[in-house]
Amino acid sequence: MRIPELNNGALLPLAESFYTIQGEGYNTGKAAFFIRLGGCDVGCSWCDAKETWNPGLYPPTPIEKIVDEAVKYKAKSIVITGGEPLTYPLDKLCNLLKKESMQIFLETSGSYPLSGFFDWICLSPKKRKPPVGNIHHLASELKVIIEKEEDLFWAEENRAKAAESTLLYLQPEWSRRVEIMPLIVEYVKNNPAWSISLQTHKYMNIP
Ligand code: SF4
């Protein structure tokens, strides 16, 4: 993946930003401003943001411009997502957001070293490019996408690396949700440390 010159995070390839309701995981149902950065080389076959993979498609955007837009809305919560946002150094963006007293939530596969600072880290590990460093231990929630039965082993492998306090979610892969849901339901009934996360924004028809 060719990363554009971004002046150590003063510019970021902004794929889109929008004010909506968080659809997944612990913060489901809460209003937040989403900053979606372009660029991801993990290559999940079922990725629902494939258009973000190539960072070259997105203009390197000054972080001041991103934050100016973010502060216009009532909710003071920001979700930084992608793509894979940790492709880039996020310290400068987080600094600016914190000056505006924003709560910052990160959605990441953890496939690049952690940068920036966050009030909430959602780690969604992917087998194709597993997490690096000690992000498991720092994760507020672990959200594992379940496409087939063997993904439950991957979920447990990651759970073993997480902190005791990390919240645990299994989320059906959207295109397989009908087939895979009974398996997830039974698994959570037998392993109640896990909860089920659904992509509720897709049911609500919102971004
Ligand atoms: S890590 Fe996320 S953005 Fe990257 S390919 Fe996988 S699902 Fe898509």
Q: How many whole angstroms from 55 Cα to the centroid of ligand 1?
A: 13
What is the pTM (predicted TM-score) of this model? 0.97
Sorted by sequence, the CB contacts under 8 Å of residue 13 that are 6+ apart come out as 4, 6, 37, 38, 39, 55, 56, 57, 58, 59, 60, 61, 88
- Per-residue model confidence (pLDDT) at position 1: 75
Which H or E run includes 28? none
Atom of ligand 1 nearest to the CA of 111: 1
- Per-residue model confidence (pLDDT) at position 102: 98
* Atom 3, ligand 1: residue with shortest CA distance: 83
Sorted by sequence, the CB contacts under 8 Å of residue 187 that are 6+ apart come out as 152, 170, 194
Atom of ligand 1 nearest to the CA of 46: 7
77-120 confidence digits (pLDDT tens): 999 999 999 999 999 999 999 999 999 999 999 999 999 999 99
Q: How many whole angstroms from 163 Cα to the centroid of ligand 1?
A: 23
Q: Ligand 1, residues 1, 46, 47, 53: which to mutate, most atoms within 8 A of Cβ?
A: 47
Q: How confident is the model at residue 5 (pLDDT cuts 50, 70, 90)?
A: confident
- Per-residue model confidence (pLDDT) at position 73: 98
Pocket (CB within 6 angstroms of ligand 1): 40, 42-44, 47, 49, 82-84, 109, 126
- Per-residue model confidence (pLDDT) at position 4: 73
* Atom 8, ligand 1: residue with shortest CA distance: 47
Q: How many whole angstroms from 83 Cα to the centroid of ligand 1?
A: 6
Q: What domains are there in the chain, each with its CATH number?
A: 7-204 (3.20.20.70)
pLDDT at 2 over 80: no
Number of Cα atoms under 13 Å in the Cβ half of residue 26: 18
Number of Cα atoms under 13 Å in the Cβ half of residue 64: 0
- Per-residue model confidence (pLDDT) at position 3: 75
- Per-residue model confidence (pLDDT) at position 186: 98
33-82 confidence digits (pLDDT tens): 999 999 999 999 999 999 999 999 999 999 999 999 999 999 999 999 99
Q: How many whole angstroms from 124 Cα to the centroid of ligand 1?
A: 9
120-145 confidence digits (pLDDT tens): 999 999 999 999 999 999 999 999 99
